[in-house]
Chain A
Amino acid sequence: MAVSEYQVRPGPEGYLPPAAASMGVELPERGAALVEGRVVPEEEAFQAIAEKLLAARNPVFFPGPAVLWAWKDGVAEKAEAVLKLMKAVGARAIPMPDYRPKYPMINPAVEINPNHPNLTIWHNRIDVGVFVGVHCHYANVALKIIRGGTDCYTIALCGEMGHEDAMITLRDVDIRKLERLTDIARALAAAGPLRTGVMPRAGTAV
């Protein structure tokens, strides 16, 4: 597998950031994940996600239609696992109920829309955002816009193959993986507070 030098870091990366894929970032194989454009073992990504979320000033989950709506068997259970993870890291949710391009009627205080996710991020000063249950083509659009115009650190918990344009991407996320992530976050939180400025604020130079 080609190893890309390109790092998928928080923006702003200009009006039109390049798609990470076009810069050589490849999606991870099963059992692997991406952290800032690098392929890592999944366990390493679990740890990085938990750390990022626990260190965040304002971590927010963006649950998409595939998890918000109990549209088929198993979704309610997955939603429950997402809620547990949110609780473990002290995050709140801003929903993405559908993909209608509601601009300029979008109310960024109550929802996020993939066509202008930056508005919601600016409005709520979100430093770490988690995409879960968002269909891939819309997640791709939104993640690129976020990287283009904000310094938000994005994490994709993807039910399919993952997203190069998120700073951290996990693939094939199911209930088991959500529970594993929750356990790691709980253990990390129990070990001591991270949200004290120990970690650099997302987007600032390290």
Chain B
Amino acid sequence: MSKGLFKISPGFEDVMPAEYKELVNNGPYGKDLGVSDLGTFKELIEEHPLCAGCAEALALRLILASLPNSEDTVIVGSTGCSSLLFPQVAVQNIHSLFGNQNAVATGLKRALRLRFPDKVKDVLVIAGDGATVDIGLDMVMQSWFRRELITTIMLDNEVYANTGGQESGMSPQGAVLHMAPLGKKFPKVNLPEIAREAGCAYVATISPALPRRLGKVVRRAILVAREIGPSYVQIFCPCPTNFKWPSAQVLQKIRDRQKEGIFKVREYVSPEAEAYLAGLEVVKQHDEEQ
């Protein structure tokens, strides 16, 4: 996609809906904006149908605000709550079959590199924990083994939320859910560790309770995937609807879990990725501002 796509043909400006005019005049395309600039530009997400207080929705809003190259980014999603939100997002996105997201992203990234060898095209997978760690784990890991230059972001809401509350690989041990009444018998899958072992050059865990760090992490993950290797970000965003928390308390619950040490913010950067990031002036500048 070129920035020209965001120029309205002369003569049609008047008939365009207000949200598009706002995106053209005040959107983030082609600008170096981040989480700390929220409120000063037209965001890439319109109103959406997710539950009030959904931490996944907040995480997505922050991810979108942190894209270093929104006009040339393609997001590959999978079935789940987030897929209800993607139609309201003003970034190219593909809805893939549940679990296939990393295979689709792999093909897409390879095709984009052949078609646009001189352009930076970021391919981002954003999918739920069920799609990433359970049904799609094969495709996810194959993309890491093969060092595909894509960023995988898991929205870890600790449940299959969109289908009414089955336990997922990321549900905590003991979790009693609508469709897991006996409680989960196994601990959370340690996917960050697996990602590192499987060849990711950058791995991080973060939550929307730390918005600026989330922005930084997403940015770094995308930049590393441009040149060095696959990257993985796991965003802890538990589902208030399935865990039956009042929507206003979600962020506090996340903070509590962090205090208890159940959720930890972590970052792994391979030496090669470290050197690469250190060499990027934009990253340094941005990090200082955060």
Contacts and interface: CB of A to CB of B under 8 A. Distances in A.
Interface in A47-92: 63, 67-72, 75-76, 78-80, 83, 92
Interface string A17-40: 000000000000000000000000
Contact of B15 (A75, A94, A102, A105): A94
Interface string B6-22: 11111110011110100
A100 B5 CA distance: 16
Given A100-B87, A101-B87, A70 B17 contact: no
B193 interface: no
Interface size class of B (residues with CB under 8 A): 10 to 19
A63 B47 contact: no
Contacts of B11: 79-80, 83
Given A100-B88, A101-B87, A105-B88, A93 B12 contact: yes
Interface in B30-52: 46-47
A196 interface: no
B117 interface: no
A65 to B, nearest CB: 8
A102 B16 contact: no
B16 to A, nearest CB: 6
A102 to B, nearest CB: 7
Interface in A82-139: 83, 92-95, 97, 100-102, 105, 107, 110-111
A15 B87 CA distance: 25
Nearest to A71: B5
Contacts of B190: none
B100 to A, nearest CB: 20
A37 B269 CA distance: 62
Contacts of A93: 12, 15
A162 B165 CA distance: 47
B87 A102 contact: yes
Contacts of A78: 9
Nearest to B3: A71
Nearest to A61: B15
Interface centre among B12, B15, B16, B87 (most CB of A within 10 A): B12
A68 B9 contact: yes
A115 B5 CA distance: 22
A97 B9 contact: no
A68 B9 CA distance: 5
A76 B9 contact: yes
A102 B11 CA distance: 25
B2 interface: yes
Contacts of B261: none
A30 B6 CA distance: 32
B6 to A, nearest CB: 7
A69 B10 CA distance: 9
B107 interface: no
B271 interface: no
Contacts of A80: 9-11
A107 B4 contact: no
Contacts of B7: 69-71
Contacts of B9: 67-70, 75-76, 78-80
B5 A68 contact: no
A71 B2 contact: yes
Contacts of A92: 15
A68 B4 contact: no
Given A97-B17, A105-B47, A111-B17, A68 B12 contact: yes
When A and B form their complex, which 8 residue pairs have the shortest distance between CB atoms, in order from nearest? A79-B9, A71-B5, A70-B7, A83-B11, A93-B15, A70-B9, A100-B87, A110-B17
Given A72-B4, A83-B12, A107-B17, 8 more contacts: A63-B15, A68-B9, A68-B16, A70-B7, A70-B9, A71-B4, A79-B11, A102-B88
